Chains A and B, each alone.
Chain A
Amino acid sequence: MNSVLGDRRTIIILLGPALLLYTLVKVVPVAWSLGLSFFEGNSLRGFEFVGFANFVEFAGDDAALQSVLVTLRYALLATTSQVALGYALALLYVFVLRRGSAFLRTVVFFPMVLPGVATALLFRNLVAVGPNQGPVNDLLNLLGLDSVEFLASGDLTLATALVMNLWQSMGFYAVLLYAGLLDIPEETIESARLDGANGLRLVRHVVLPLSLPILLSSIIFSFNSTLKVFDGLLALNNGGPGTETSPLTLYMYRTAFEYAEYGYGSTIAFVLTLLCLVFTLAIFRSSRRKVED
């Protein structure tokens, strides 16, 4: 076997097709998009080389910078809440419910299989106001409060989007972290208990450090998916009111496909890729430091 895998020609034959396919569907479009960032125009009007002009424009584009802030705000809040709640659920499954957690795991995971647009429409109706008022405002009225038009406010739209995201994804992170927690040897937990570590102390000093690798993976997963949020915010309130909840992905979509500005749209996509890369590297570096500590 060693002699086969040691032959360079065999390696090329075995890896070549997959590598070629990967290059065609992944590397070429990404490189193409990066190249377009230095051009202005579209496939019909033609492209004109503009150097770094698109990047300069981005730096002075208020709408783009607002979209960056919306994206970061959403990603930070969504990642924190979904990983924290997912971790809490995983602890509940492992240490409280134990073998009886299967039903709850399934129920909490279920929203994950729903399409994002369907979930957004569901939440749109939940917070509706007016003649077809949704249950959230019904509840407010029941408590003696006035109805609130959630989708007329940027903060309340974002809050609705975060709750929606949490409802949909916390089950996934709970299952992911649950699998990580199951890997912690029972003897280690038992010996910590014999040493007097219980409850929060056990979690803080034993469970958390041992589940750190899977926790960091979850954070990286979560950051990368929430930085690229698109369908939820589009279907919930079309990035509104105004552009107050318009993330970078939506701004990129509108620029490239509604205004047919492929060059500037590619620049926005490149910035988004950089954001994902920076966050992922930052998390990796911090995790390495923790391991070294």
Chain B
Amino acid sequence: MSDAIVLKYDVPGDDFTRAGEASSDIKQKLRKMGIPPEAIRKVAISMYEGEINMVIHAHGGQITVEITPEDVDMLLEDHGPGIADIEQAMQAGFSTAPEDVRGLGFGAGMGLPNMKKYSDEFSIESEVGVGTTVHMKVRF
């Protein structure tokens, strides 16, 4: 679409001090564009959870965000270990996060469920040893 804004972010792996930079940046941009606050909140939550997952599990990844007048489209791609059982990973409370990560307040098994809950469209594809791709859309 000609009036779409496309933004790309590199999410650094294993660096919790920088997790959230991409979602904070998108949030600020959407706010300046006058997008409704509830839609911004949905984008911020789903994208932050995706970022955190990339940091914890996948040694980082890439996020491509496309903003159109109607919606925000987020594509999250990583080359991490992949998810063997997506159905299990989608269950609230299921987590494979290591103990040190739990000590930071993560690993409650809410990441993927939150991403699904707060996006209007959600799909996930994963292959063990290859990586994981998550596609999310939030409509205004």
Do A and B bind? Answer: no
